[in-house]
Amino acid sequence: MKRVLSISTLYPNASAPRFGTFVARSLEALATRGDWHVTMINPIGIPPVAFGRYRPLARAAVGGTENAIEVHRPRFTLIPRLGARINASVIARRILPLVQQLHAENPFDVVDAQFFYPDGPVAAFVADKLGLPFSIKARGSDITYWGGRDFAHEQMLDAAARATGLLAVSQALASDMAALGMDRSKITIHYTGLDRERFRPLAHAGLRTRLNETLGIALPETQPVLASVGALIELKGQDLAIGALAQVTGAHLLLVGKGPDEAHLRDLVADLGLASRVHFLGSIDHDMLPLVLSASDAMVLPTRNEGLANAWVEALACGTPLVTTDVGGVRELVTSPDAGVLVERNIPAIAKGINAVLARKAPREQVASAVARFDWKTNAADLAAYYERLVARVS
C-alpha cells in the first residue's frame, strides 16, 4: 500500500464538522479503496489568547483515526487578520518535526496540498525536506482571491513551479491558473465527487410537509420554493437572491448556511417585508440537504467567484435546476436549458432567470443527468491514478 501525506487547513473537526467536508469525502473514498493509506495533517490556527470561536477550535485540535484516515491536528500560532502573509511559513516549520517523525516510521510516497494557499507553499517546503514528489489542488477562491494578493501570488507561483503536478476542479479554473502564470501542461482536471445514494431526485409528494415539521417552517405546497446553499457571505450573493424573491410571485426562499452576513440579510428581509417567505435554516444535517434541494424548484446562487461549487453539483443531482452566475466551471455543468440558466449578477436578471426556470418545469431526472459522471468512487479512482503517475515520474 502506497502512502500519501495530505495537508489541508480546511478539514472537518469537532468544532466545525461541516468545514471542508468535500476534502474529507474525497480522501475517505481514496482510503477505502485499499491501495493508498492517507495521512492528513490539518493545522489548526489558534491566537496566543484563544478567545471567542477559537476556544472550541482549540479543544478540537486533536487527532485520531477518522473514517479510515490518520488525522493529525497540530496547532500553530495565528495572528487574526494580520497573519496571512506568514501563515505558510509558520505552518511549514510547525509541522515539519511531526512529518519527519511519521516519515521515518513509515515513509510516504507523495505529498499533497488540498488548497493552493497556504497549503501549497507548505507542501512544497515539506516535500523538499522529504525528497518526495508533491501535488497542489486548486479549488476556486484559493486562485481567484489569494492569486490577487501579491505576497500570496508570489508564493503560489513558486510552489506551482516546483510541484510535480497540479490539480484543478474545472477546466475554467485551470485556465485561471495558467493566466496567473502556472504551467498549463502540469494541470490535471479532477472533478469533485458526489454521494449518489444521498443526492438524487426524491419523491416530491410530502417533502415540504416533512420539512415544515422537522425544521419548524411554513412552506406552501403549491407555490415555488427556492433554495440557496452556501456560507452567508457577500461573495455568495444571498442579498441579491432575496431582492429577486420580491419579483417572483408567492415564492419562498430557503437559505442554507451560516456566516457573518446573517444579521444584514435578516435586516434586508425585514425591510422588504419578506419575513414570511425567507427561511434561515443555518447549517443543516447533511442528510437533510437532499430533502431541501428535492423540495425546491430551483437553486439560486448569484455568486461572484467559484471553482466548481459542490452546491451546484448536489442541487443538479437532486433534479433541481440552477439560477447562478457565469463564473468558474459552471458551464461544464449547465450544458442544456434543463440544467438551469446563467444570469448577470443583478436583481432584475436573477428574477428573470428564476421565472424562466420555474416556467420550464424540466423533469427532475433530466436535470440530474447533467451530473451523471460525478461520484466519489470515480473521484477516488482518478486521484489514485494521478498519484501513481506522480510517483512514477520521479522514480
Same domain, yes or no: 366 and 389: no
CA distance 249 to 325: 22
Same domain, yes or no: 114 and 257: no
- Which element (helix H / strand E) includes 267? helix 262-271
pLDDT at residue 144, rounded to an integer: 87
Same domain, yes or no: 28 and 149: yes
Query: What CATH number is attached to the domain comprising 164?
Result: 3.40.50.2000
390 within some domain: yes
Query: How many residues in total does the chain contain?
Result: 395
Give the pTM: 0.88
SS3 of residue 178 by DSSP = helix
pLDDT at residue 10, rounded to an integer: 93
295 within some domain: yes
Same domain, yes or no: 161 and 212: no
pLDDT at residue 141, rounded to an integer: 84
Same domain, yes or no: 219 and 348: yes
CA distance 137 to 23: 11
Same domain, yes or no: 127 and 141: yes
Report the candidate in 32, 58, 22, 28 with the shortest Cα–Cα distance to residue 40: 28
Same domain, yes or no: 174 and 129: yes
- pLDDT tens digit at each of 395 positions of the chain: 999 999 999 999 999 888 899 999 999 999 999 999 999 999 999 999 888 889 999 999 999 999 999 999 999 999 887 789 999 999 999 999 999 999 999 999 999 999 999 999 999 999 999 999 999 999 988 898 899 999 999 999 999 999 999 999 999 999 999 999 999 999 999 999 999 999 999 987 889 999 999 999 999 999 999 999 999 999 999 999 999 999 999 999 999 999 999 999 999 999 999 999 999 999 888 889 999 999 999 999 999 988 899 999 999 999 999 999 999 999 999 999 999 999 999 999 999 999 999 999 999 999 999 999 999 999 999 999 999 999 998 87
Same domain, yes or no: 186 and 243: no
pLDDT at residue 19, rounded to an integer: 87
Q: What residues make up the domain containing 256?
A: 207-371
198 within some domain: no
Same domain, yes or no: 292 and 324: yes
250 within some domain: yes
Exposure on the CB side of residue 245, measured as CA atoms within 13 A: 33
229 within some domain: yes
Give me the phi and psi of 253, to 5 degrees please: -125, 125
Are the C-beta atoms of 58 and 50 separated by less than 8 Å?
Answer: yes
200 within some domain: no
CA distance 143 to 37: 28
Same domain, yes or no: 213 and 293: yes
346 within some domain: yes
CA distance 7 to 203: 40
Q: What are the Cα distances from residue 378, in Å, to 57, 96, 196, 357, 374?
A: 33, 32, 11, 30, 7
Same domain, yes or no: 77 and 131: yes
CA distance 386 to 380: 10
What is the number of domains present in the chain?
2
Same domain, yes or no: 260 and 124: no
Report the candidate in 95, 337, 316 with the shortest Cα–Cα distance to residue 200: 316
199 within some domain: no
